[in-house]
């Protein structure tokens, strides 16, 4: 909601940057983490900074995965074998699409 994370001691890890690969980096305040009693469990970095890295799509992937694990999601996923996967198997076995060659545009 506020686009930050909270460490076990209640300190806030704020958003710093997004890499070119699409990962968001959240950093803790090094001055606070130096004297933290949980530092050994939390981070072993030399500069005493906790960093959390998450992909920009990570929240969406978690939401979709939670939906897949519901009763309705399990039924829909089970149908995949009968519909999507079956058509690929037929094309591969019956129509000679076992190998693909990609040439040109």
Domain boundaries, the chain: 4-56, 61-94
pLDDT of residue 64: 93
Residue 85's pLDDT is what? 82
The model's pTM: 0.63
CB 89 within 8 A of CB 97: no
pLDDT of 103 higher than 80:
no
Is residue 3's pLDDT more than 90? no
**Residues 27-42: pLDDT tens digits?**
988 888 888 888 888 8
* CB neighbours of residue 28 within 10 Å: 24
Residue 66 binned pLDDT confidence (cut-offs 50, 70, 90): very high
């Amino acid at each position: 909601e506020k686009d930050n994370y909270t460490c076990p001691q209640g300190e806030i890890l704020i958003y710093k940057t997004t890499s070119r690969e699409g990962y968001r980096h959240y950093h803790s305040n090094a001055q606070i983490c130096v004297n933290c009693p949980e530092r050994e469990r939390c981070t072993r970095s030399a500069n005493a900074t906790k960093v959390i890295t998450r992909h920009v799509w990570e929240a969406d992937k978690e939401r979709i995965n939670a939906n897949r694990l519901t009763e309705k999601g399990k039924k829909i996923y089970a149908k995949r074998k009968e519909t999507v996967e079956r058509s690929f198997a037929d094309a591969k076995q019956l129509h000679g699409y076992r190998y693909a060659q990609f040439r040109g545009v």
